[in-house]
Protein backbone atom coordinates (compact mmCIF):
# COMPACT_ATOMS: atom_id res chain seq x y z
CA UNK A 1 0.00 0.00 0.00
CA UNK A 2 0.99 3.61 -0.17
CA UNK A 3 -0.23 7.18 -0.54
CA UNK A 4 0.66 10.48 -2.14
CA UNK A 5 3.34 12.63 -0.51
CA UNK A 6 2.81 16.34 0.11
CA UNK A 7 4.65 19.32 1.55
CA UNK A 8 4.47 21.23 4.85
CA UNK A 9 1.72 19.83 7.09
CA UNK A 10 -0.25 18.13 4.31
CA UNK A 11 1.84 14.95 4.30
CA UNK A 12 -0.84 12.69 2.79
CA UNK A 13 -1.85 14.35 -0.48
CA UNK A 14 -3.86 12.49 -3.07
CA UNK A 15 -4.01 9.87 -4.25
CA UNK A 16 -4.88 8.95 -0.65
CA UNK A 17 -4.61 5.22 -1.17
CA UNK A 18 -2.65 3.25 -3.75
CA UNK A 19 -3.98 -0.29 -3.69
CA UNK A 20 -5.77 -2.50 -6.21
CA UNK A 21 -7.46 -4.64 -3.54
CA UNK A 22 -10.40 -2.22 -3.26
CA UNK A 23 -10.80 -1.58 -6.98
CA UNK A 24 -8.75 1.63 -6.91
CA UNK A 25 -7.70 2.35 -10.49
CA UNK A 26 -5.66 5.52 -9.82
CA UNK A 27 -3.36 6.18 -12.77
CA UNK A 28 0.19 7.19 -11.85
CA UNK A 29 1.56 10.01 -14.00
CA UNK A 30 5.10 11.21 -14.65
CA UNK A 31 6.22 13.50 -11.83
CA UNK A 32 3.91 12.08 -9.14
CA UNK A 33 5.61 11.23 -5.84
CA UNK A 34 4.25 8.33 -3.79
CA UNK A 35 5.24 6.28 -0.77
CA UNK A 36 5.75 2.57 -0.39
CA UNK A 37 4.78 1.16 2.99
CA UNK A 38 5.79 -2.50 3.22
CA UNK A 39 4.19 -4.57 5.94
CA UNK A 40 4.69 -7.90 7.68
CA UNK A 41 1.77 -9.69 9.33
CA UNK A 42 1.60 -12.86 11.43
CA UNK A 43 -1.92 -14.31 11.33
CA UNK A 44 -3.64 -14.06 14.74
CA UNK A 45 -0.48 -12.53 16.24
CA UNK A 46 0.66 -9.09 15.09
CA UNK A 47 1.49 -6.87 12.16
CA UNK A 48 3.91 -4.03 11.47
CA UNK A 49 4.19 -1.46 8.69
CA UNK A 50 7.33 0.52 7.93
CA UNK A 51 6.70 4.16 7.03
Q: What is the pLDDT of residue 36?
A: 73
Question: In this structure, what are the phi and psi dihedrals at residue 34, rounded to the nearest 5 degrees?
Answer: -135, 165
- Is 47 within 8 Å of 39 (Cβ atoms)? yes
- Is 3 within 8 Å of 35 (Cβ atoms)? yes
Whole-model pTM: value is 0.38
Helix ranges (H only) for the chain are none
Per-domain residue ranges for the chain? 1-51
* pLDDT by position in tens, the chain (length 51): 566 666 665 555 555 565 666 666 777 788 877 777 778 999 999 998 776
Amino acid sequence: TGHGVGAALNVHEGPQSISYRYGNMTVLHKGMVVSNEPGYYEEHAFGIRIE
